[in-house]
């Protein structure tokens, strides 16, 4: 029986226009729809495939306040067996990883999956921090994950290629596209999600190592300089003499 | 007190992103009136190592242990952490590459350090506060992060800091650490690198195409243009979802975030999720047959026209430019 833990985060929908309040110190959540992080959907889908047909269980874990429960229920509807919510604001990746690692120390898993990154803070940090806190291997970005009884084979993304690695359990991996196709919950899943166990756990004390103090939005670009479709040579000239990029 | 830079190599050679990170680390060392030490792991030739001095490294620690020839995340993190401790380095800098993303979080935990991943500018150090600007919300914004810990780890986004040359050859020393057996649980079976292609995250020019190209059979034009410009190729999400191009080329909010000097988007509408991953490009060129395509709103240069007519002319124009240059 393989026990898999999938770390899930609750992030602004990808169409969100990002704005800030309080003198650019707070993310403006007004009217923002929150979703299950797209990479975590991939991790979850693979976990479900690997345990399908009674071969194991999939627990999802989230560090978040009560408003993340809709996202947790979505993960249960997709097919997770049960869920844990650590009842705290996810201060930063270190805080999240520390809380999740404490939970894993008390409840061991064979395989721990995260997304390659959260689409809000994009750290790609939780997987590596978990690996270090638990003193087990971690692979930050994988494109493929296959398992046998004793070990897993993963493909790690590298610049201009890939690396094929075998790793014994337990280990942590950050999942990216290619690992699985996200699954859409069906009616039965949605019904059963309501009654699946969702444990709420209080956080432990953690030393603070970083703090977001403000946000900035990118400087707006000037007007587009249009070149006639008949004269791409003009574009090449502008890129050379004006923009100086070729 | 000192600054340690992990100088990543690819097949024994340092990449531009490494020189950027060394230059960046040198500037941080200068801010703090301290020296910059580089560490290299793997098989890198002595003159290549010494050349890191040109970008500001005073000393280069060379770890050439055979077991560490290829990247093993846990073991590399241990070696870098040991080097930081042995040299009293309280700031560790690395590139936010695929390997860097594996190392930075582990180093953060080992050194009890706050981690600024995806840094895009030099830290600001005012009144005892150490802050770093980093990308957030998939390129839709930046966050200024204060690292409140005594030790700090910073992973620099490729193409966001200019290479600065000036120093002379660095002194190279062997650095030996007893590698823990438990750090070598993972085994590399195979490394596949397409050496003839420019890697997307490091590319200075990216030629990217979307659904407007109609089908995979039409990518010959895209590759030809990219080859001529020494560019990497990229695509929109639906293109990789349809299997026209590999997933590793998909850029955007849920793909790779790029910040090249020049991003050329052909037959891509400019959906918010696509723009998220490319908007920090310095110059954006859009070619689209629809003048109302949202991409034109964030473009610096544009051509409203059919890609199948514009591209052959553009390719001819680039050839002519290259012949005359
Ligand atoms: C959760 C989520 C995450 C997403 N993440 C990403 C992401 O990371 N990256 C990403 O790219 N997308 C992402 N998307 C998808 C995104 O919303 C858009 O659907 C996608 O970017 C559109 O791709 P496209 O521009 O290639 O195709 P289309 O929107 O179909 O646009 C094709 C364009 O080509 C033009 N065109 C057609 N024919 C020609 C021609 N002959 N010559 C010139 N131009 C022509 C058209 O005018 C049009 O503008 C995401 C979506 C969701 C829901
Ligand atoms: N608050 C959270 N609770 C649980 N898991 C999280 C949380 N935030 C991030 N993660 C996991 O860590 C991955 C990487 O996040 P990040 O390091 O923020 O890029 C995500 O894809 C999730 O799998």
Q: pLDDT by residue (tens digit) across B207-247?
A: 999 999 999 999 999 999 999 999 999 999 999 999 999 98
Tokens encoding A3: 């026990």
Give residue B11's pLDDT. Answer: 87
Backbone φ and ψ of A239, nearest 5°: -65, -30
CA of B276 to the centre of ligand 2 (A): 19
pLDDT in tens, A77-105: 999 999 999 999 999 999 999 999 999 99
Q: Nearest CA of chain B to the CA of A24: how many Å? A: 10
Q: Measure CA B126 to chain center.
A: 28
Cis peptide before A170 (omega within 30 of 0): yes
Query: Is the minimum CB–CB distance between A228 and chain B shorter than 8 Å?
Result: yes
Query: Is the minimum CB–CB distance between B318 and chain A shorter than 8 Å?
Result: yes
- Per-domain residue ranges of chain A: 2-217
Atom of ligand 1 nearest to the CA of B210: 26
Is the pLDDT at B197 greater than 80? The verdict is no
- Residues in A touching B114 (Cβ below 8 Å): 94, 209-210
- Residues in A touching B133 (Cβ below 8 Å): 216
Structure confidence at residue A163 as a pLDDT band (50, 70, 90) = very high
pLDDT in tens, A53-62: 999 999 999 9
pLDDT in tens, B57-99: 999 999 998 899 999 999 999 999 999 999 999 999 999 999 9
Identify from A35, A90, A98, A132 which residue to disrupt to test chain B contact, counting B C-beta atoms within 10 A and taking the largest count.
A132
Is the pLDDT at A229 greater than 80? The verdict is yes
B147 burial (CB, 10 Å; 0-12 / 13-18 / 19+) is buried
Is the pLDDT at B164 greater than 70? The verdict is yes
Q: Nearest CA of chain B to the CA of A197: how many Å? A: 30
Is the pLDDT at B196 greater than 90? The verdict is no
Identify from A209, A212, A236, A242 which residue to disrupt to test chain B contact, counting B C-beta atoms within 10 A and taking the largest count.
A209
How far is CA A216 from each of CA A14, A24, B293, B314, rounded to the nearest angstrom? 18, 7, 26, 36
A residues 69-128 lying closer than 8 A (beta carbon) to B: 93-94, 97, 119-128
Query: Is the minimum CB–CB distance between B184 and chain A shorter than 8 Å?
Result: no
CB B79 within 8 A of CB B63: yes
A residues 166-195 lying closer than 8 A (beta carbon) to B: 166-168, 171, 176-178
Give residue A122's pLDDT. Answer: 79
Cβ separation A216–B141 shorter than 8 A: yes
Is the pLDDT at A180 greater than 70? The verdict is yes
Is the pLDDT at A234 greater than 70? The verdict is yes
Domain B200-324 adopts which CATH fold?
Answer: Rossmann fold (3.40.50)
Tokens encoding A222: 């000037």
Secondary structure letter of residue B170 according to DSSP: P
- Per-domain residue ranges of chain B: 2-184, 200-324
Mean pLDDT value of segment B135-158: 95
Structure confidence at residue A219 as a pLDDT band (50, 70, 90) = confident
Backbone φ and ψ of A211, nearest 5°: -150, 130
Cβ separation B320–A135 shorter than 8 A: no
Identify from B10, B109, B280 which residue to disrupt to test chain A contact, counting A C-beta atoms within 10 A and taking the largest count.
B109
How far is CA B28 from each of CA A212, B163, B220, rounded to the nearest angstrom? 20, 14, 44
Adjacent-strand bridge partners of B266: B209, B287
The DSSP-derived string for A28-94 is --TTPPEEE-HHHHHHHHHHHHHHTTTTEEEEEEEEE-GGGHHHHHHHHHHT-SEEEEEES---SHH
C-beta B211 within 6 A of ligand 1: yes
Which of A50-59, A182-191, B174-183, B280-289 shows the lowest mean pLDDT across its residues?
B174-183
Cβ separation B77–A216 shorter than 8 A: no
Domain A2-217 adopts which CATH fold?
Answer: Rossmann fold (3.40.50)
Percent of chain A predicted with pLDDT > 90: 93
Cβ separation B141–A157 shorter than 8 A: no
- Fold match between domain B2-184 and domain B200-324: yes
Give residue B195's pLDDT. Answer: 64
Adjacent-strand bridge partners of B264: B207, B285
| Helix or strand holding residue B38 (H, E) | strand B36-41
Of residues B199, B282, B321, nearest to A236 (C-beta): B321
Mean pLDDT value of segment B154-179: 92
B residues 65-94 lying closer than 8 A (beta carbon) to A: 71, 73-74, 77
What average pLDDT does chain B have? 95
Percent of chain B predicted with pLDDT > 70: 99
pLDDT in tens, B31-65: 999 999 999 999 999 999 999 999 999 999 999 98
Q: How far is B264 from B252, CA to CA, in rounded Å?
A: 14
Structure confidence at residue A161 as a pLDDT band (50, 70, 90) = confident
Percent of chain B predicted with pLDDT > 90: 87
Q: Which residues line ligand 2 (CB under 6 A)?
A: A 7-9, 37, 39-40, 61-64, 90, 93, 96, 114-115, 117-118, 121-126
Secondary structure letter of residue A179 according to DSSP: S
Secondary structure letter of residue A101 according to DSSP: H
Query: Is the minimum CB–CB distance between B314 and chain A shorter than 8 Å?
Result: yes
pLDDT in tens, A108-140: 999 999 999 999 987 899 999 999 999 999 999
pTM value? 0.94
Cβ separation B301–A97 shorter than 8 A: no
Top-confidence residue, A161 or B281: B281
Kindly report the CATH class assigned to B2-184.
alpha beta
């Amino acid at each position: 029986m393989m026990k898999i833990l999938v770390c899930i985060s609750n992030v602004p929908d990808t169409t969100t226009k990002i704005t800030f309040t309080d003198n650019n110190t707070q993310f403006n959540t007004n009217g923002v729809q929150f979703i299950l992080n797209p990479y975590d959907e991939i991790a979850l889908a693979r976990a479900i495939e690997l345990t399908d047909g009674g071969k194991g269980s999939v627990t999802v874990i989230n560090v978040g306040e009560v408003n993340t429960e809709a996202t947790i229920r979505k993960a249960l509807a997709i097919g997770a067996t049960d869920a844990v919510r650590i009842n705290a604001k996810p201060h930063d990746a270190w805080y999240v990883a520390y809380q999740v690692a404490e939970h894993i120390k008390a409840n061991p898993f064979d395989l721990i999956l995260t997304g390659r990154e959260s689409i809000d803070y994009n750290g790609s940090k939780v997987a590596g921090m978990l690996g270090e806190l638990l003193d087990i291997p971690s692979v930050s970005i994988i494109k493929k994950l296959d398992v046998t009884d004793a070990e897993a084979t993963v493909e790690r993304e590298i610049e201009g290629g890939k690396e094929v690695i075998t790793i014994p359990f337990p280990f942590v991996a950050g999942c990216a596209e290619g690992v699985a196709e996200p699954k859409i919950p069906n009616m039965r899943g949605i019904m059963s999600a309501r009654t699946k166990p969702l444990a709420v756990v209080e956080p432990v004390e953690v030393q603070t190592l970083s703090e977001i103090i403000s946000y900035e939005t990118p400087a707006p670009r000037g007007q587009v300089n249009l070149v006639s479709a008949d004269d791409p040579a003009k574009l090449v000239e502008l890129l050379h003499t004006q923009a100086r990029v070729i | 007190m000192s600054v340690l830079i992990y100088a990543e190599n690819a097949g024994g050679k340092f990449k531009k992103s490494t020189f950027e990170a060394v230059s960046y680390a040198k500037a941080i060392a200068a801010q703090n009136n301290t020296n910059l030490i580089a560490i290299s792991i793997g098989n890198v030739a002595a003159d290549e190592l010494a050349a890191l001095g040109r970008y500001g490294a005073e000393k280069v620690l060379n770890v050439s242990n055979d077991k560490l020839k290829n990247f093993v995340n846990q073991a590399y993190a241990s070696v870098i952490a040991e080097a930081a401790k042995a040299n009293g380095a309280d700031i560790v800098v690395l590139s936010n590459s695929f390997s860097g993303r594996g190392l930075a979080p582990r180093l953060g935990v080992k050194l009890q350090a706050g981690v600024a991943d995806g840094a895009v500018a030099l830290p600001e150090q005012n009144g005892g506060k150490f802050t770093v600007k980093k990308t957030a919300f998939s390129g839709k914004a930046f966050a200024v992060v204060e690292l409140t810990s005594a030790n700090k780890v910073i992973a620099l986004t490729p193409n966001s800091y200019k290479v600065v040359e000036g120093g002379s050859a660095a002194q190279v020393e062997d650095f030996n650490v007893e590698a823990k057996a438990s750090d070598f649980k993972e085994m590399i079976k195979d490394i596949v690198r397409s050496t003839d292609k420019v890697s997307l995250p490091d590319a200075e020019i990216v030629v990217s195409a979307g659904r407007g190209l109609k089908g995979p059979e039409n990518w010959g034009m895209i590759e030809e243009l990219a080859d001529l410009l020494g560019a990497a190729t990229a695509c929109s999400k639906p293109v990789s979802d349809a299997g026209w191009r590999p997933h590793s080329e998909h850029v955007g909010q849920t793909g790779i975030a790029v910040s090249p000097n020049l991003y050329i988007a052909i037959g891509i509408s400019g959906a918010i999720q696509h723009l998220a991953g490319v908007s920090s490009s310095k110059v954006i060129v859009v070619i689209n047959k629809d003048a109302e395509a949202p991409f034109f709103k964030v473009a610096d240069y544009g051509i409203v026209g059919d890609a199948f007519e514009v591209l052959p002319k553009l390719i001819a124009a680039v050839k002519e430019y290259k012949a005359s240059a």
